[in-house]
Chains A and B, each alone.
Chain A
Amino acid sequence: MNEIDISRIISAVKTLCMEANYLIDPIVRERLRIALKKEDLPIAREILEMILENHILAHEKQMPICQDCGVVVVFIELGQDVHIVGGDFYEAIQEGVRRGYSDGYLRKSIVSDPIFGRKNTQDNTPAIIHTEIVQGNSIQITIAPKGGGAENMSEIKMLKPADGIEGMKNFIIDCVKRAGGNPCPPVIVGVGVGGDFEQCALMAKKALLRPLNEPNSVLEWAEVERDLLARINDLGIGPMGTGGKTTALAVQIIQKPCHMASLPVAVNIQCHAHRHRSIRVE
């Protein structure tokens, strides 16, 4: 058994919040540079150049890539041989978010009630925490701040099994089409297929966390991802929706077993800032 004090959780979460907002994923940056080489529409090129320049400025000045520093989504893989000491585990995560957003000069975007008052909670809490118990004696913490613009364009639909592969693909492509320039394309398209209603939505979000250069481990699904990416980029939405060849940088799917009556499909759209950062606390 491994004892981990909550002070280490607080400090890890704080650092991850700041780094996720300041530092671009190098694979995203590489994909954007490749996109710039392919684009010949002047406005698409200017937009991509500004996005690439912004990464450098954010890094140099330690400022958030985007002013919308998002709702903090936390994925925890908790080793079953870990014993957490010193206080409440979930409260430690919230405290880390509080400190990261305050000390990191990150925007606080959370309102306490969705309808009544919509009063800002002032510290960007509560974060949304998903916990999985896994083997081992360490804790893997992933922070994925999610902006409202992209999250608002996400959709879930309970398709019929008869809709099949084309029904699934059309729903995903139509979702990206409906989103247009709103979610800050070039986007990353996270997709959940299968499971049930709530698991499917979570799968779509989790799919975003797979490294962009790793295709789906199942051959048929890797082919679906490739085909969807090509068809989405043929839509011509382009960077920020003003036209061009690059609408998405990747399509990432998580598929799972489901009820024989069901075919749930969820699409979680991610902006080009694609903020996420992980650490293992041993």
Chain B
Amino acid sequence: MKKLRIHELTVPLTAGSIAPLKAGDKVLLSGIIYSARDAAHKRLAEMIHRGDSLPFDLAGQVIYYLSPSPAKPGMIIGSSGPTSSYRLDSYTPALLELGLKGMIGKGARSREVIDAIVKNRAVYFMAVGGAAVKMAQSIVSARMIAFPDLETEAILELKIEKMPLFVAVDADGSDIFKI
């Protein structure tokens, strides 16, 4: 039985820091990341189209396809597992062009997204869907930074420590869902 290769990595990511990652490897990710899903991606795309500045600088950053359940009193965040990534596929290449280096979600990506990942030397991580309390344990702070009217779909800035992820698509375009 081949053991999983495990990497510890900190955001912001660079082409160099993600170079050793291969599809199927495990990653413990730390640093600041941002949550965004369907409605927030639609807004980001509209802002890019209009030439507006975005709520956060995408360079080297990671977006987590997440809208958590509400935090109970005294807790940092509620359950925090990933949502399906394919729904964001149409928005992703433009964000990668602007310097986004990583996405966290679940399920396979389109050919266009994988091509854009290779072109921009980025990485797509998979989190385990339905392991949402476990995922929340690696979030040490959460703060809403944009689109409060989107409520649970607003953009959160999340500080994470050793979030357990798997490399689903690496910078060379190897895809765990096709291996």
Contact with B along A172-204 (1 / 0, CB 8 A): 000000001110100000000000000000000
Is the Cβ of A66 less than 8 Å from the Cβ of B132? yes
Contact with A along B147-165 (1 / 0, CB 8 A): 0000111000000000010
State the Cβ distance, A163 to closest chain B Cβ, in Å.
28
- Give the residues in chain B near A62, CB-CB below 8 Å: 72
Is the Cβ of B78 less than 8 Å from the Cβ of A43? no
State the Cβ distance, A50 to closest chain B Cβ, in Å.
4
A105 beta carbon closer than 8 Å to chain B: yes
Is the Cβ of B106 less than 8 Å from the Cβ of A54? no
Is the Cβ of A67 less than 8 Å from the Cβ of B1? no
Q: Please, how many angstroms separate the alpha-carbon atoms of A53 and B4 in the complex? A: 19
Contact with B along A46-72 (1 / 0, CB 8 A): 110011011001100111111111000
Question: Among A106-114, A215-223, A249-257, A261-269, which stretch is in contact with chain B?
Answer: A106-114
A272 beta carbon closer than 8 Å to chain B: yes
- Could you say which interface size class chain A belongs to? 35 or more
Chain B contributes a number of interface residues (CB within 8 A of A) equal to: 43
Contact with A along B76-97 (1 / 0, CB 8 A): 0011110110100000000000
A152 beta carbon closer than 8 Å to chain B: yes
Partner of B69, one of A43, A63, A243: A63
A20 beta carbon closer than 8 Å to chain B: no
B39 beta carbon closer than 8 Å to chain A: yes
Is the Cβ of A273 less than 8 Å from the Cβ of B130? yes
Q: Please, how many angstroms separate the alpha-carbon atoms of A99 and B78 in the complex? A: 18
| A-B pairs, 5 with minimum CB distance | A184-B129, A182-B107, A57-B133, A107-B69, A67-B79
Q: A57-B137, A64-B78, A182-B108 are known contacts; what are 19 more A-B pairs with Cβ within 8 Å?
A: A50-B134, A54-B130, A54-B133, A58-B133, A63-B79, A65-B132, A66-B79, A67-B81, A68-B81, A106-B70, A107-B152, A120-B152, A149-B107, A180-B108, A180-B177, A182-B107, A240-B126, A240-B129, A242-B126
Q: Would you mind naming 12 contact pairs between A and B with Cβ atoms under 8 Å apart?
A: A42-B2, A46-B166, A50-B134, A53-B134, A54-B131, A57-B133, A65-B79, A107-B79, A180-B108, A181-B126, A184-B106, A242-B126
